[in-house]
Structures are given as C-alpha cells and as structure tokens.
C-alpha cells in the first residue's frame, strides 16, 4: 500500500509503491505488431537511502556509520556557526521560517515514523539491491530546443493538437511529441519506442513534451483541470553550478496560463525550495496574479529507510524538508454559476508527507494519494514541469518522459494475465513480493 500511514498530522508514503501501482499490467509493442507481456517495477536501488548525511557540506558526503534514530539526529552541526551579524538577509529569513515550523516538522515526523515502524516500515531492513543507479543521459530538453523550428498547429486546427500514442495499426512511428498532446488510452502500461529509445508509458495518460514557449498545444487541448501540481525549475546557486537542468526566472512563471487551464475551485499545488524569497513570491505575487488563494502550506520530510532525517534538522546548508504551497483558483469568469462556497473538502494546514526520497536528482514523490480527498472523484489532474507520467494524469514539461525511460525499470517476461487463474481472497502475494503494511488512520 503506497500510503503506509495516515493520521491527522499527515502521511508516510512508500514512494516506489506509488510508482509501481500504475504498472501492474504491462506490454511491449514489437516491430512485428506483436505484444509481449511484462512484469514492470521501478528499480528498487533508487529508494535505498540507508544513511543520513552527517554534515551539510557541499559534497553531501554520506556518513556510513550514522545509525542514530530520528530522535538523535536533531543535533547541531559541529561546523563553526556564524554569528547572527554575519548572516545575510536571506539567511536570517530562512532561519526565522525554520524556527517557526521546526516543532511541527520534528514532532509530526516522530509520530508518523513511530506509526510506520509499528507496521514494520522504516525499520532499516537489509533487503537491498547491490546495483548501480540508472545513469541514462537525458537529452529531452535539448530535443525540445531543436523542435522549436517545427511549425505549431494553427489555431483553426486545434483538433489536430491531440494524437494517440498507439495508432490503430499498433505502431508509434509517426507520433509528434513536440507540438501535439499525446494520449495513451490503453488499460495497461505500454513499452514503446520513441525517438530511438524505449519508454514505459502508464495507462490512461496524456503528455506534451515542450518548454514554456511551446505550451500552446496544452491550452488547445481543451481540458479544464481540477488539480494542478507544478515543480518549477527554481533558480539557485546549486543548479547553476551543477548545470543539471535549466532554471526559470520567477517572473517567467507568471506566463503559465493557469487561468485558462484551471477549472473553478481548482486545487493548485506548487513545490517551493527553502529560499524565503521563492516562498514569498508564490504566496504574494504568483498566486494572486493567477487568482489563486493560498489555503495551506505542507512539508515533504525526507527520511532514510530507518526513519532518520536525511539531513540534520538544524543544518544551515540543507534542510530535510521542502515546502508545498496549496491554493484554490477562485475565478468565476468562465462559470458564473460557480462560487467559492461549493462543497469542497477543506485543506488542513501544516500537514507532513514523510517518505524515503529517490536518489535520482529532481524526482519528487507522487501527490495523487494525499491530494485525492481534496478533489472530486474523476477529477482532471495536470502536472506542470513534470519529469515522469502518472496514470490518469496529463503531464507537461521539457523532460516529461525522463523517468519513463526503460533504464529506470526492471522488466521481466510475464504470462498473459488473462490466462492466469484468479487469485482467491486471502491468498498471499506472489513469490518474491513482500506484502505491504496496512495503512493506519
């Protein structure tokens, strides 16, 4: 079960299980139009953070001997602390924000981790995979840049902005990923060849591979979304040094057509770095610009497989948490009969999402499990700046297929599920698969 624990303070999520639940059935399409059945799982070694980082140095060195519990990792770093007078304004603001939420993060995480351990989760088990992390070179952003030379579909041809991933003849050779929204309407995951590589596409998903200058096909797609989640490529010194991805100035985020994409009372969720300037920008400029009212701040707390913070809680360099700002789109211009007084489920403030983070840079946990109580059944969901796909969601970004590459999955041959005998109630899980812990409310 992907939500291991649920209580009034938040959730403990099994991030890998959240991914795998979209791939219970998977097929590969061959050149001969034949289908082969596969067992598909996201690689386990990506979620094997066994030890926390003992210091917050720029190198992020892992302390192999750190076996303290979460309660004991809350120790100040031995690195010399600068006097308050030596801190710049941004650091002073960051420290003030940390002090304001510190007890919420510490006490809430302790409670959630204790509940998870009582179910046998976050106990630091030794069931590990001694294999290197996938290292597939992602060139999608560069391909998007090259594709800017391709003509966009004219406004009068908006219906042509949508295409099927798999054509009626079962082939994908003529799919235009850069100027059309691509839909997979299959009831199962599909391994397909795209741009000379193989990607695993979850069922009932749609996506557009482009940057912000070529987002028009998503607008022309014609859907209004009840939930919009975005993980912007925020500017910061670490990103500039690493050059792992291109950042986007905060002012450019205002160009995103949220009022056009959002349905009335749409829940808008934005991942924000721990820079106070970014948080203020979202709350005081970006959301008001779109007509979105802030309703809550949540925190993603990153822990090891034994429930420790991945960084000391009071680290001055990196914190073991990130912030999510949740808001409601309140504009009624396109729907005069709607109002903010509809029977939406209230969003509680300062809730925690605790999970073992991926070792893959920029991979966030899926929020589908924790957000579904706050949107209606059958809600249309959109992820912006996505680097992966989710079943039932529409996704957009210049690396939208990054973590769908086959190198991130373990694929093994499987029998056709329709030929297998039905599993009787109460039976155990398949060999090699451990039964997930039961969620606690």
Mean pLDDT of 243-261: 82
Distance (Å, whole) CA 231 – CA 18: 18
| Mean per-residue pLDDT over the chain, rounded | 82
Q: Burial code of 9-45, b = ≥16 C-beta within 10 A, e = fewer?
A: bbbbbbbbbbbbbbbebbbbbeeeeeeebbbbbbbee
Query: What three-state secondary structure class fits 13?
Result: strand
CA–CA distance, 301 with 382 (Å, rounded to integer):
23
In which order are the strands placed within the sheet that holds 181-184? 3-7, 10-13, 352-355, 292-302, 321-329, 262-272, 225-230, 381-384, 393-397, 205-209, 181-184, 162-164
Query: What average pLDDT does the segment 53-73 reach?
Result: 43
Give the C-alpha separation, 368 to 393, whole Å. Answer: 9
pLDDT of 335: 47
List the single range of 106-115, 151-160, 245-254, 276-285 with lowest mean pLDDT: 151-160
Mean local confidence (pLDDT), 8-34 = 88
pLDDT of residue 207: 97
Query: Is the pLDDT higher at 297 or at 57?
Result: 297
- pTM value is 0.85
- Residue 341: predicted pLDDT: 42
Question: Does pLDDT of 88 surpass 50?
Answer: yes
Tell me what pLDDT residue 154 has: 59
Domains and CATH numbers, the chain: 3-54+88-127+137-416 (3.40.50.150)
pLDDT at 142: 87
Q: Decide if pLDDT at 45 tops 80.
A: yes
Quote the pLDDT of residue 153: 62
The tokens describing 352, both together, are 């925690």
With a pLDDT cut of 70, the percent of the chain lying above it is 77
Residue predicted with more confidence, 108 or 148: 108
Highest mean pLDDT among 9-23, 78-92, 138-152, 161-175: 9-23
Look at residue 242 in the predicted model and tell me its pLDDT. 47
Query: What's the confidence (pLDDT) of residue 426?
Result: 45
| pLDDT bucket at 78, cuts 50 / 70 / 90 | low
Highest mean pLDDT among 201-210, 230-239, 323-332, 427-436: 201-210
Residue 431 pLDDT: 35
Residue 29: per-residue pLDDT: 78
Rg of the chain over Cα atoms, rounded to whole angstroms, equals 22
pLDDT tens sequence across 367-411: 999 999 999 889 999 999 999 999 999 999 999 999 999 999 999
* pLDDT confidence of residue 175: 84
67 confidence band (pLDDT: 50, 70, 90): very low
The number of residues making up the chain comes to 441
Q: What are phi and psi of 282, to 5 degrees?
A: -65, -45
Q: Note the pLDDT of residue 34.
A: 76
pLDDT of residue 336: 42
Closest CA to 209 of 411, 387, 8: 387
Predicted confidence (pLDDT) per residue in 185-196, tens digit: 999 999 999 988
Quick one: pLDDT at residue 346? 86
Supply 308's token pair. 């420790």
């Amino acid at each position: 079960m992907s939500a291991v624990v649920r209580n009034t303070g938040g959730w403990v999520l099994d991030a890998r299980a959240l991914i795998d639940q979209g791939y219970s059935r998977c097929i590969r399409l061959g050149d001969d139009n034949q289908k082969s059945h596969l067992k598909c799982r996201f690689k386990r070694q990506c979620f094997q953070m066994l030890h926390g980082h003992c210091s917050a140095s720029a190198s992020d060195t892992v302390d192999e001997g750190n076996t303290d519990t979460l309660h004991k990792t809350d120790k100040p770093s031995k690195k010399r602390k600068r006097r308050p007078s030596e801190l710049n304004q941004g650091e002073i603001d960051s420290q003030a924000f940390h002090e304001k939420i510190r007890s919420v993060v510490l006490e809430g995480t302790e409670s959630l981790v204790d509940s998870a351990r009582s179910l046998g989760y976050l106990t630091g088990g030794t069931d590990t995979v001694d294999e290197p992390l996938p290292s597939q070179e992602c060139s999608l952003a560069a391909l998007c840049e090259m594709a800017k030379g391709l003509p966009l579909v004219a406004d009068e041809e908006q219906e042509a902005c949508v295409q099927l991933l798999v054509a009626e003849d079962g082939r994908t050779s003529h799919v235009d990923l850069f100027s059309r929204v691509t839909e997979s309407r299959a009831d199962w995951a599909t391994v397909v060849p795209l741009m000379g590589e193989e990607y695993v596409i979850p069922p009932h998903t749609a996506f557009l591979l482009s940057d912000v200058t070529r987002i028009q096909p998503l607008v022309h797609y014609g859907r209004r979304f009840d939930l919009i989640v975005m993980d912007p490529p925020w500017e910061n010194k670490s990103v500039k040094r690493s050059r792992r991805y291109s950042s986007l100035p905060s002012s450019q985020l205002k160009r995103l057509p949220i009022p056009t994409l959002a349905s009335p009372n749409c829940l808008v969720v934005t991942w924000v770095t721990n820079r106070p300037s970014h948080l203020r920008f979202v709350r005081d400029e970006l959301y008001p610009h779109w007509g979105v009212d802030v309703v809550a701040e949540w925190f993603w707390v990153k822990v090891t497989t034994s429930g420790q913070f991945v960084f000391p809680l009071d680290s001055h360099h990196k914190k073991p948490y990130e912030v999510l700002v949740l808001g409601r789109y309140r504009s009624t211009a396109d729907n005069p009969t709607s109002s903010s007084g509809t029977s939406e489920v209230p969003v509680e403030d300062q809730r925690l999402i605790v999970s073992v983070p991926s070792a893959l840079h920029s991979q966030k946990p899926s929020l589908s499990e924790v957000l579904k109580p706050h949107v209606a059944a059958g809600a249309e969901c959109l992820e912006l700046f996505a680097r992966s796909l989710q079943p039932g969601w529409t996704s957009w970004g210049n690396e939208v297929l990054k973590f769908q590459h086959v190198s991130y999955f373990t694929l093994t041959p499987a029998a056709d599920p329709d030929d297998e005998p039905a599993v009787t109630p109460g039976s155990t899980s398949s060999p090699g698969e451990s039964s997930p812990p039961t969620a606690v409310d």
